[in-house]
Amino acid sequence: MIEDLDQLTLKNQSRYLVNKFKEGWNKELERDPINPSLWKTIFDLTGYSIWIIIIVGLLFKISIEFFSIYALRKILQFISESDSDNPSHNVSQTAAIWYALSLFFGGVITTILNHATFYGSERKGNNAKTAMTGTIFDKSLTLYCNQVPIGQLVNLISTDVERFQNFLKMLPLAMTSYDLYFVYVHISPDHVHM
């Protein structure tokens, strides 16, 4: 059964992730022994690729949304002119079709970007969870059984570590909520002028 599984790359192996996390945590302890930052250690572990993915995705999405809003307004203008008795023909039928096609392809590109962003954040979240779970497990092996109750260790691993993973997963969702607000502000009925 094990031979059916692909080998993990070095950067996805738990041994590598735990060692890198421990190195980052030790550096953080040297920098500030009183108040070390777990978030900084996690972001150092996951690398800045997650931020690059999110920023590039956000820039593309914003540019696509600006054009989509413009195209949607032109389509609405075409529809309102075709329904009126005195059309001004500011938007031709061919232009309206091109605007509609651009809305479709913009949606396809946005979907692909959302998928890549969610995939990257999910992967980095799992890496952070693996590193912290492995570190907690290693630390629990060095402690005496009487010092830390088993229930507390299980709680640390299952609940508290999961919160960090969920935060990294939620970054693309924050982008999506921004998108909804952006569309609401610019396409609400108060802003559509026909």
Average pLDDT over residues 30-48: 83
Q: Is residue 159 assigned to a domain? A: yes
Q: Is residue 1 assigned to a domain? A: no
CB-based contacts of 144-149 (< 8 A; 24+ apart in sequence): none
| pLDDT (0 to 100) of residue 173 | 64
pLDDT at 104 over 70: yes
CA 18 to chain centroid, in Å, comes to 23
Range(s) of the domain holding residue 128: 11-187
| pLDDT (0 to 100) of residue 86 | 62
**H-run or E-run covering 40:** helix 38-46
Concatenated DSSP letters for 145-179?
Answer: TTTS-HHHHHHIIIIIHHHHHHHHHHHHHHHHHHH
For the record, the structure tokens of 124 come out as 């980095």
Q: Is residue 154 assigned to a domain? A: yes
Q: Residue holding tokens 């059984």?
A: 145
Is the pTM here over 0.75, yes or no?
A: no
Contact 120, 49 (CB under 8 A): yes
Single-letter residue type at 184: Y
Q: Is residue 54 assigned to a domain? A: yes
Q: Is residue 3 assigned to a domain? A: no
**H-run or E-run covering 4:** none
| pLDDT (0 to 100) of residue 101 | 92
Q: Is residue 193 assigned to a domain? A: no
| pLDDT (0 to 100) of residue 140 | 74
Q: Is residue 192 assigned to a domain? A: no
Q: How confident is the model at residue 107 (pLDDT cuts 50, 70, 90)?
A: confident
**H-run or E-run covering 48:** none
Q: Is residue 122 assigned to a domain? A: yes
The total of structural domains in the chain comes to: 1
Which CA distances in Å does 100 have to 39, 67, 105, 106, 110?
A: 44, 11, 9, 10, 15
